[in-house]
Chain A
Amino acid sequence: MAEMAAEGREPEILFWVGCAGSFDARAQKVTKAICQVLDAVGMSFAILGTEEMCTGDPARRAGNEFVFQTLALQNIQILNGYEVKKIVTACPHCFNTLKNEYPALGGNYEVVHHSQLLQELINAGRIKMSEGGTFKGKKITYHDSCYLGRVNGVYEAPRAVLESLDSQLVEMKRCRSNGLCCGAGGAQMFKEDEPGDKRINLERAEEALKTGASIVAANCPFCLTMMQDGIKAKDKQDEVMVYDLAELIVNNMVR
């Protein structure tokens, strides 16, 4: 973004990468997939790069408002400094915080989740799917993340994106507003589960396996990790793959 601003150019959209997208090896692949899609459709975008910080979601939900405010206010200063208007992000936690929590702190942007952007681009014909792609006829199940689904009510966009793959979408028993959490939210990602019978991600992975799908589609870097770990714990990692929507699209689009 700094470079573009220096050259006086304004990107169509700012891509908010997030901590996971920046540092987590698995989520980095999703980040790259999104860049590839945006490049392929010729949408000009920028990232904040080293100027980006965590949105503060895990700190706020852990109860540490001080750290949250510190991060959020710095991010808002940067974003407002560049006069950013539209943001896309691949993380539903970043999405929620940017969209719903930054306005009270003075940060007002149009924020979309990448599943919404993908749907838009597919509908507008800017993304074209290759005929008889890799996923044709394959059984895919979709895991609603809490912060995209229940919290922000986005249930259809990601499903519409999956429909475009010509695959067979099978729902888990608990889906949409009844979707079961992967276990990562509320800063649980950064600690062990409290004492109990079972890890939450295992419960969800078992449910995903029950659908008989060979692909589990997710929309959140933390769900991705949680589902993958859960499936691995069931020793099914060779039969069932966990992908982000963007990865599925990039694999199947005409470029």
Chain B
Amino acid sequence: MISSIIFTLIAVGSFVFAGREFLKIRRNILLGKELAIEGDTRQRWGNVFLIALGQQKMFKRWIPAVLHLFIYVAFVITQVELIEILVDGIFGTHRFFYAPLGGFYSFIISFIEVLSVLALVATIAFLVRRNIMRLSRFHKPEMKGWPSKDANLILVLEIFLIFFIFLMNSSDMHLHDNKYGFAVSQFLSPIWEGTGESTLHLLERVGWWGHILVVFAFLNYLPFSKHLHIIFAFPNTYFASLKSRGEMENMPEIMNEVKSMFGIPVESTDAVNAENLEFGANDVPSLSWKNVLDAYSCTECGRCTAVCPANLTGKKLSPRKIVMDIRDRADEIGKKLDSGNADFAKDKNQPLSASNFDDGRSLFDYIAAEEIHACTTCNACVEACPVLINPLEPILKLRRYEILSLSQGPQEWLPMFNSLENSGAVWSMSQDRDAWKADL
């Protein structure tokens, strides 16, 4: 009875706390600008099934893909067991579904056990890969500190989870003369030969509580971790742009201005707000909400950075860092909004809110000019990302801001711009554009 109450309190508490954090993330994502989601819904679901659920992009490299799949499937399937844990925890029952499901129950739990063993193998392999083999993409500057700890912590949590599952199942099996017939625990239960019944009960309880507490801890840890991708990969692949990669987002305000300059009739009547013209993006609120969703979906795997030609040749640009910076900045704005500190209000006479916010900082406090200038727009990062994040889009928006709103940018581009404006060619040339015809 007491344990039921304690369990219910912990369960409700952890759902409430986690829920609050998830709502904050939602708020942070919606700091971004509106974006119309266009295109075929079926194609979007196709992406969700193939890329999020089917992990298609992971399979460019087989070994990590298979190992990751073990952890992922084990994790998802283990959640089935969570239903029973919740029922047992609240009503004080024991293996509630065993009686009604019988053999099928044993099958499900056995399945989970086998997956857990595979996940254990994968987890250890990942720990080795990160910390002993030290794969370079896991040790770039942006991974220092929390990001590396985050990655290891989750792997360690996974090991604890698996340990508790087997502690629970094997001691329970021994207590019940192996009647459950779980695939892996039946081989483990002989360890408990000669252990007293009360000790076994205690061990079973430790396993049960340990397991569920790790799950609750994980739930509350997710919002602060790169492991948010286990949830966000789904909406992120759904909302990923279906347009051609080659098309940069059009800027109708500028198009219309130029059109009217040339006397071309302008279809849209969207009045350009001439006073407050800011082009491109310098901060989270001027990115699209999809750019921010991208940032929260990032697995920090570094596949993008590992193929980035700029990063490969020692430049400071790392597409992963750009994406992580956007998340950090969104978190920063979120925290400042939560603080209610009136210093962060843009208009000090109005209450602090997402639309009345100015802390004097921007993404340019995170991202240096040399980073955004180094990008060749090669799209390798876009191609590489397993969860369809587009790191290139924010880079280009930052460039637009720099050039259009700040009138800055690499000096070397000025002659090109001048020549384009004056002669319509990238280089200033004395000869005619078709001079080459002469010696055809």
Residues of A close to B439: CB separation below 8 A: 32
Partner among B247, B315, B399 whose Cβ is within 8 Å of the Cβ of A196: B315
Once the chains bind, are A67 and B316 in contact (CB under 8 Å)?
A: no
Q: Does A121 contact B (CB under 8 A)?
A: no
Q: Does A178 contact B (CB under 8 A)?
A: yes
List the A residue with the shortest CB-CB distance to B244. Answer: A100
Partner among A61, A69, A204 whose Cβ is within 8 Å of the Cβ of B258: A69
Once the chains bind, are A188 and B376 in contact (CB under 8 Å)?
A: yes
Residues of B close to A69: CB separation below 8 A: 251, 254-255, 257-258
Once the chains bind, are A191 and B412 in contact (CB under 8 Å)?
A: yes
Once the chains bind, are A65 and B246 in contact (CB under 8 Å)?
A: no
Q: Considering only CB atoms and an 8 Å cut-off, how many residues of chain A contact the other chain?
A: 69
Once the chains bind, are A184 and B376 in contact (CB under 8 Å)?
A: yes
Residues of B close to A184: CB separation below 8 A: 376
Once the chains bind, are B314 and A197 in contact (CB under 8 Å)?
A: yes
Q: A74-B424, A105-B250, A181-B380 are in contact. Are A190 and B416 (CB under 8 A)?
A: yes
- Which stretch from A6-14, A45-53, A135-143, A241-249 is at the chain B interface? A45-53
Once the chains bind, are A71 and B424 in contact (CB under 8 Å)?
A: yes
Once the chains bind, are A64 and B404 in contact (CB under 8 Å)?
A: yes
Residues of A close to B435: CB separation below 8 A: 22
Q: Does A158 contact B (CB under 8 A)?
A: no
* Proximity bits, A36-69, B CB within 8 Å = 1, else 0: 0000000000010110111010111111111101
- Which stretch from A81-89, A146-154, A161-169, A208-216 is at the chain B interface? A146-154
Give the docked Cα–Cα distance between A195 and B251 (Å). 31
Residues of B close to A159: CB separation below 8 A: none
Residues of A close to B279: CB separation below 8 A: 65
Counting chain B CB atoms within 10 Å of each CB, the highest count among A20, A178, A181, A202 belongs to: A181
Q: Does B2 contact A (CB under 8 A)?
A: no
Size category of the B interface is 35 or more
Once the chains bind, are A64 and B417 in contact (CB under 8 Å)?
A: yes
Nearest CB on B from A143, distance (A): 12
Q: Does B436 contact A (CB under 8 A)?
A: yes
Once the chains bind, are B433 and A186 in contact (CB under 8 Å)?
A: no
Once the chains bind, are B404 and A47 in contact (CB under 8 Å)?
A: no
Give the docked Cα–Cα distance between A196 and B309 (Å). 11
Residues of B close to A32: CB separation below 8 A: 436, 439-440
New contact pairs (16) apart from A22-B435, A63-B402, A190-B413, CB-CB < 8 Å: A20-B426, A49-B433, A52-B424, A58-B416, A61-B399, A64-B404, A65-B404, A150-B383, A178-B307, A180-B307, A190-B412, A190-B426, A197-B314, A198-B314, A200-B312, A204-B309
Seen from chain B, the residues whose Cβ lies within 8 Å of a Cβ on chain A are: 244-248, 250-251, 254-255, 257-259, 261-262, 264, 279-280, 307, 309-310, 312-317, 370-371, 373-380, 383, 396, 399-404, 409-410, 412-413, 415-417, 420-421, 424-427, 429, 431-437, 439-440
- List, sorted by A's number, 6 A–B pairs whose CB atoms are closer than 8 Å: A61-B377, A67-B417, A67-B421, A73-B262, A150-B378, A203-B313
